[in-house]
Structure 1
Amino acid sequence: METAAAPRWDLADLVRRRMDELGLSFRKLADACVDPLDEGAGPLWTRGTLENLAKREPVKAPSAPQLRALSAGLQLPLRLTQEAAAAQWFGVETVYDDESDPETRLLVRRFQQMSPEDRRRLQIIAETYDPS
């Protein structure tokens, strides 16, 4: 039987860290969270939701437009907010093979709980897999 994993706070921690780096208040961040693909929709995050997220309070998983808006507000590549959200809400970690192929990317559940040997086995599988 699988045991429950500890809660993840990847996106919450990313938001807090980036707000500190940029010197943003929750209100300023909320105002800047506009989806670049639909600027007419205006800000997609409220100050209260961002504050709850940063404080590790329960919030709903963000939609794709909300992640694009948050990325814009935090001035980060979309990939980083997507990966943090996937880890926080779905326990999926993105792992890059920095050793041999920086283009190799895996989405893995509970990667941090794996032994170094098991992590290396996954990297070898990813490097040798040819879907064609």
Structure 2
Amino acid sequence: MATTPRRALADLLAKRKAHLGLGLEDLAARCVDPMHPGDGPQWTRSTLSNLLSGRMVKLTGPSAVRALAAGFDLPLDAVQQAAAEQYFDWKPIGLEDDLVALVAHWDEMNDLEKAQLRRIAQAFAEERRKHGPGE
């Protein structure tokens, strides 16, 4: 049975490229990690072309994802979620306005398991709001 290729990141970036009206060369030049601007662009035109066409390219780490977010002028969390979905088959599940969980094997879960996971994540979020992070 053939599997459908995951394209969450490719689709997000292709849509944003069309909205920005920029070419791949210009986008590649903008793909600089804001935490390490001295490192320069993290993506080449040809690698961006491969990524946007749905080919799997190597994500070298968080710096590459931050650089994509900066280059395409997108929120970092949106790029992180799309990358997690495309590269790791983790599904971002919106639980509340400020809570998103990245879940592996979501599509394999039945409705009861999905409801249980939502309750666990919501309980965690409520405790974190009450007590703050790390407490």
Question: TM-score range, shorter-chain basis?
Answer: 0.7 to 0.9
5 Å-filtered alignment, 1:84-99, equals: 84-98=82-96
CA RMSD of aligned residues (A): 2.4
State which of 104, 109, 112 in structure 1 corresponds to 2:104.
109
Q: 2:31 aligns with which of 10, 33, 37?
A: 33
**1:46-70 residue CA offsets vs partner (Å, 9 max, x unmatched):** 0000000011123112421111111
Paired residue total: 127
Structure 2, unmatched stretches of 5+, are 129-134
Of 114, 118, 132 in structure 2, the residue corresponding to residue 123 of structure 1 is: 118
- The one-character-per-residue Cα deviations of 1:102-132 (angstroms, maximum 9, x if unpaired) are 3333221233454555433321222234698
Alpha-carbon separation, structure 1, partners of 2:123 and 2:55: 41
Deviation at 1:38, TM superposition (A): 1.3
Percent identity for Structure 1 against Structure 2: 39
Q: Specify the code of the residue in structure 2 equivalent to 1:16.
A: A
Q: Which residue of 2 aligns with 1:76?
A: 74
Shift of 1:25: 0.8
Q: 1:5 to 1:128 in 2, by over 3 A?
A: farther
Residues 1:123 and 1:85: Cα distance change in structure 2 (over 3 Å): same
1:53 partner letter: L
Name which of 33, 45, 48 aligns with 1:47.
Answer: 45
Secondary structure, in 3 states, of the residue corresponding to 2:59? coil
- Could you tell me the TM-score, scaled by structure 1's length? 0.82
Partner of 2:59: 61
Residues 12-34 of structure 1: CA deviation (Å, up to 9, x unaligned): 11110110111111111001101
